[in-house]
């Protein structure tokens, strides 16, 4: 994989950087977690300091191929300006008059941000020709392409894949770091513990299958745990359940036993009458969730059990919160797991938080980024990497 140092002298050259700036916004349009913006800054700054004319492109949210004000990247341009400590120019379109005019005005070291790539239908099109046509337009804006949005490298999209076939290209510092850290997880120091949460087991079937061949223990929490409990024949009440995955999960439990992998499930659950912070809730045994209640967090005994397992490990990967951490009554399980990772890090373990909701959770709960070995910027990309899949945005950099 080529890196920025392989591109030679970039002074005076226009460099198109694909960053991952897909940050959460509140109802007023303010950024609520700027972790991805901050993670993108080092590569942008280094290119600027090298004298390149830097054109950053990214997406935000899920617009349907047309402009939507609520998905504008303008707030991100403002935050980038603050973090870089100099103005970032903002183009109000992707490849139109504003983009071309903004790029033409750049001097060496200047930085510009294009409007949301997904305002153009060519960005995410499944049609190779439509996607390629948009990539052609993007390529006319620059001399060189740098891929630095790890959170999108699992997508075959114009600004991720097709553009890299049209310009001299390299991986940015963020992508380099992400790949290096995740490759360490494929050769872990043992014991190797993986904590998986989040809503749906179906989102993680492939990675579970692969991790059964690699990990020493799998700790299962979040909404996906109820499919595991159902596979053991337990009542799960009104909890999130993927009934069509029960048989497959039952097979995983058998395979784990045959391979000597310790699948750790909660022993107690915080069960509520409704998905609400104000709902009546209580701690119940994991095998006896009342029929009229839903599980919204792992219970205190489970949190302590998970924490002990994590602290005993030399390598830990965590993807997915243990419960509905956004609501205070159901945040304790996720907090305990995060603290256990912090403790494991301090004891010399390699700890990786697998992006997405996990990254948002640790920040919302007050943990510092540097308390972990690495916080990934790519939830889905991290999982697909560990699943052993070929990621288009990485494979194209090897061509």
Q: Where are the domains of the chain?
A: 4-172, 181-387
| List of the chain residues with pLDDT < 70 | 399
Separation in Å, CA 45 to CA 37, 127, 148: 12, 35, 13
pLDDT digits (tens, 9 = 90+) for 192-250: 999 999 887 788 888 899 999 999 999 999 999 999 999 999 999 999 999 999 999 99
CATH number (3.40.50.1260, 1.10.1040.10, 3.20.20.80, 3.30.70.580) of 181-387 reads 3.40.50.1260
- Active-site choice (149, 237, 299, 380): 380
Tokens for 339?
């603290």
> Does 184 count as an annotated binding residue?
no
> Does 355 count as an annotated binding residue?
yes
Distance, in Å, from the CA atom of 117 to the CA atom of 51, rounded to the nearest integer, reads: 25
> Does 295 count as an annotated binding residue?
yes
pLDDT of 204 reads 84
> Does 126 count as an annotated binding residue?
no
> Does 358 count as an annotated binding residue?
yes
> Does 105 count as an annotated binding residue?
no
Tokens for 137?
């337009």
Burial class (CB in 10 A: 0-12, 13-18, 19+), 314: middle
Active site residue 149: no
> Does 190 count as an annotated binding residue?
no
> Does 136 count as an annotated binding residue?
no
CATH no., domain 4-172: 3.40.50.1260
Active site residue 356: yes
Nearest to 304 by CA among 271, 253, 343: 343
pLDDT of 295 reads 98
Tokens for 63?
């617009």
Distance, in Å, from the CA atom of 168 to the CA atom of 180, rounded to the nearest integer, reads: 22
pLDDT digits (tens, 9 = 90+) for 306-348: 999 999 999 999 999 999 999 999 999 999 999 999 999 999 9
> Does 62 count as an annotated binding residue?
yes
Which helix (H) or strand (E) element contains residue 219?
A: strand 217-220
Q: CB of 155 within 8 A of CB of 117?
A: no
pLDDT of 141 reads 98
**C-alpha 187: how far from chain center:** 21
> Does 110 count as an annotated binding residue?
no
- Active-site choice (35, 132, 356, 378): 356
Which helix (H) or strand (E) element contains residue 351?
A: strand 350-353
Tokens for 278?
């104000």
Separation in Å, CA 258 to CA 166, 263, 304: 49, 12, 26
Q: CB of 185 within 8 A of CB of 317?
A: yes
> Does 51 count as an annotated binding residue?
no
- Active-site choice (38, 166, 184, 200): 200
- Active-site choice (36, 293, 335, 363): 36
Q: Report cis status (omega within 30 of 0) of the bond before 154.
A: no
Q: CB of 221 within 8 A of CB of 302?
A: yes
Tell me if domain 4-172 and domain 181-387 are identical in fold: yes
Helix axes 35-49, 173-185, angle to 10 degrees: 130
> Does 259 count as an annotated binding residue?
no
Tokens 């045959």 sit on residue:
258
Kindly report the pTM of this predicted structure.
0.91
Active site residue 308: no
Separation in Å, CA 282 to CA 234, 269, 279, 294, 336: 18, 8, 10, 10, 18
Nearest to 260 by CA among 226, 224, 218, 229: 218
Active site residue 36: yes
Q: Where are the alpha helices (DSSP H) in the chain?
A: 35-49, 74-84, 97-104, 128-139, 173-185, 205-211, 225-231, 246-259, 300-311, 332-346, 356-364, 379-387, 392-395
Count of beta carbons in the 10 Å neighbourhood of residue 327 = 17
Nearest to 397 by CA among 160, 126, 155: 160
């Amino acid at each position: 994989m080529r890196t920025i140092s392989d591109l030679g002298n970039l002074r005076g050259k226009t460099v198109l950087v694909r960053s991952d700036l897909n940050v959460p916004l509140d109802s007023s349009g303010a950024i609520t977690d700027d972790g991805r913006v901050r993670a993108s800054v080092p590569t942008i700054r280094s290119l600027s300091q090298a004298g390149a004319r830097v054109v950053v492109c990214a997406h935000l949210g899920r617009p349907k191929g047309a402009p939507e004000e609520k998905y504008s990247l303008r707030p991100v341009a403002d935050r980038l300006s603050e973090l870089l400590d100099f103005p970032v120019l903002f183009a109000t379109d992707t490849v139109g008059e504003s983009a071309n005019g903004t790029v033409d005005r750049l001097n060496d070291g200047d930085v510009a941000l294009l409007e949301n790539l997904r305002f153009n239908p060519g960005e995410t099109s499944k049609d190779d020709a439509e996607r390629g046509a948009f990539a052609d337009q993007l390529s006319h804006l620059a001399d060189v392409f740098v891929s630095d949005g790890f959170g999108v490298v699992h997508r075959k999209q114009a600004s991720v894949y097709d553009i890299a076939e049209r310009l001299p290209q390299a991986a940015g510092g963020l992508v380099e770091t992400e790949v290096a850290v995740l490759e360490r997880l494929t050769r872990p120091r043992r014991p190797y513990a993986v904590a998986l949460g989040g809503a749906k087991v179906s989102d993680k079937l492939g990675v579970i299958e692969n991790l059964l061949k690699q990990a020493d223990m799998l700790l299962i929490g979040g909404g996906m745990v109820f499919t595991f409990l159902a596979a053991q024949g337990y009542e799960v009440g009104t909890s999130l359940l993927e009934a069509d995955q029960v048989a497959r999960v039952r097979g995983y439990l058998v395979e784990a036993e045959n391979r000597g992998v310790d699948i750790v499930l909660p022993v107690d659950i915080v069960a509520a009458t409704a998905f609400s912070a104000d709902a009546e809730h209580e701690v119940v045994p994991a095998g006896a969730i009342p029929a009229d209640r839903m599980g919204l967090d792992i219970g205190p005994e489970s949190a302590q059990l998970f924490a002990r397992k994590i602290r005993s490990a030399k390598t830990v990967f965590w993807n997915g919160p243990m419960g509905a951490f956004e609501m205070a009554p159901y945040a304790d399980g996720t907090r305990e797991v995060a603290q256990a990772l912090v403790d494991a890090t301090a004891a010399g373990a390699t700890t990786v938080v697998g992006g997405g909701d996990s990254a948002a959770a640790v920040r919302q709960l007050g943990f510092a980024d540097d308390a972990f070995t690495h916080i990934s910027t790519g939830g889905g990309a991290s999982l697909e990497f560990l699943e052993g899949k070929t990621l288009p945005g990485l494979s194209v950099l090897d061509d």
